[in-house]
Structure formats: C-alpha cells, structure tokens
Copies of this chain bind each other. A is one copy, B any other.
Amino acid sequence: MIHFKEAMAGIRKEAPLVQCITNFVTVNDCANIILAAGGSPSMAHDIREVEEAVEGVQALVCNMGAIEDTEAMVLAGKRANQLGKPVVLDPVAAGGTQLRRDAAARLLHEVHFSVIRGNASEIRSLAGGQAAGSGVDVSVSDVITEDNLMENIELVRQFAQRIKTVIAVSGKMDVISDGTRTVVIHNGCPMMSRITGSGCMLTSLIGAFCGALPGDSFTAAVTATAAMGVCGEIAEQQRLQKGTGNATFRTDLIDAVFNLTEEQLMEGIQYEIYEG
C-alpha cells in the first residue's frame, strides 16, 4: 500500500527546498514544476558553492544532462550523503557516449542515490545491460511492454536491491522498485514525449517529494511518477478539447501539477504492486 494522499499532503506542507544541478535545456521547467508541487527550487551548480548550498536544502537532484557539471554533482552528492539528505539521479543519455558512461559510473561509485530515474535504455546502461540508446530518447528495443514486463520487473528489482537505491524506469509503463516492492504505473500519455523535459521534470518532482518524505524515497518516487502521469492525462484531455499543441501541453502539464488534488490523484492512478 502506497500512502499517496499523505505524500501529496506532505509536499504542500513541507514546501521542501530542492537543489537541482541540471541542464540548461529544461532548467526553467524543472524549477517551475517544483514550485507547482509546492516546493522551492535552487539551481545553484557552481563547483565552488554546491557543497555549501546543499546544507540548506531538503533534497538534491543531479541531472546528467548537465554533463559539464559532473564534478559539481559528485561534490554536492557526497556532501548530501554526509548530511543524510536524499539525492536523486537522472542519468540522461547515460549510454549514449563514452563521456556519459564514464560520468554515470563515477557518480554511482562516489555518491549514494536515494532514487535513480531514467528511461529503460538509460537504466539498462547503468545496470550493465546492453542499451541501444539514441540521443536522449529510449530506443525501441529497450521499451518495456506487456510482453517483457515480468522480466523487466525482475531486472529492475534486482538492480535496485544490488545498489540499495529506488530505481524508477519511465515509459509507457513505469516500473519502480526498492529491491523488495515493485510498482507498475499505467498513467501518462504519448504526448509527454513530444515535449522536451518530461523526464527531467519528473526527476525534479521526485526530488521535491523526497525532500518532503526524506525517510521514504520509494513512496516519493511512486507518488511523483503517478502524479506526473495523471497530470499528463489531464493536460492531454485539455489539448484534445482545445486543439492546441505541444507547447500548450507543457504549460497545461505544469498547471495540472499546480492544481492537482489528492482526490484527482487517487481517482486517476492506475497501478499494481508486486511484492518481491
């Protein structure tokens, strides 16, 4: 049983300050979705201040889209680990280039993450599997489908258990595991891949929920993923009604997070839990 309502209430009550070391493509959207959820963002990423900055926040998000800030992520992540604060990783295009494979390996080695969220090819790359990632998007052969769901649940669960981190794989079906429990979420819509930043925003949202629920990263990751999916569906319904496009969809998606009620979330979620 996942305490969705308590998590939603918690993020509005705690108003966590979340530091994101993230990429310039989607940084504005990441800041605004944290604000939409009730948190407060700090985008400090300068290597000379990240360790000091992390002392004042409730959670840290490291987004490998900012590949040039890998060193800052290591420093901030280690400091956050010392302070017992949750750290969330988005391994953007982790398997795409040698630079990213090296950065991902280094981050996993130096920092303990509470949650790692990526698409299937990114997570497979981290897990040592063979990924055929092209750019930042999931490659078709790495997509989790009904046909390969059970084996992927097991893969994700094992990887989560091995590195003692909540693993969240985003896609048509989202698979999230803490190494024992695994949740599969069926929300979301294809439009989410027609805007830049759906993944980055979700990772930032997970960071915000982790900041509000520091002891329960699994609930944080599951609730954030469910909320994002439900809000994507709300925004998609609006798009179909208004005849708008991907730019308005992005705006409506963030608005939906802003206005999301506990009731909307509970009614909208479609998920199953698999006990390890």
Contact = CB atoms under 8 A, between A and B. Distances in A.
Contacts of A31: 25, 196
Interface string A74-86: 0000000000000
A141 to B, nearest CB: 15
A6 interface: no
Contacts of A124: none
Contacts of A96: 44, 49, 53, 56
The listed residue with most B CB atoms (<10 A of its CB), out of A27, A28, A40, A52, is A28
A10 interface: no
A67 B42 CA distance: 13
Given A247-B250, A258-B247, A28 B196 contact: yes
A245 B255 contact: yes
A27 B29 CA distance: 12
Q: How many monomers of this chain does the complex have?
A: 3
A49 B67 CA distance: 10
Interface in A1-59: 17, 19, 23-29, 31-32, 35-36, 40-44, 46, 48-49, 52-53, 56-57
A130 interface: no
A189 to B, nearest CB: 15
Interface stretch (A131-139, A149-157, A158-166, A222-230): A131-139
Given A28-B29, A197-B28, A135 B17 contact: yes
A28 B53 CA distance: 24
Contacts of A57: 135
A16 to B, nearest CB: 11
A100 B56 CA distance: 15
Contacts of A35: 194-196, 246
Interface in A234-254: 243-248, 250-254
Interface of A: 17, 19, 23-29, 31-32, 35-36, 40-44, 46, 48-49, 52-53, 56-57, 65, 67-68, 93, 96-100, 134-137, 194-197, 243-248, 250-259
Given A25-B43, A40-B137, A244-B259, 20 more contacts: A17-B137, A23-B43, A24-B24, A26-B28, A32-B246, A35-B246, A36-B245, A41-B135, A41-B196, A43-B65, A46-B99, A48-B99, A49-B67, A49-B99, A245-B255, A245-B259, A247-B254, A247-B258, A248-B255, A251-B251
* Among all A-B residue pairs, the 6 with the closest Cβ atoms: A245-B258, A245-B255, A247-B254, A31-B196, A42-B135, A49-B99
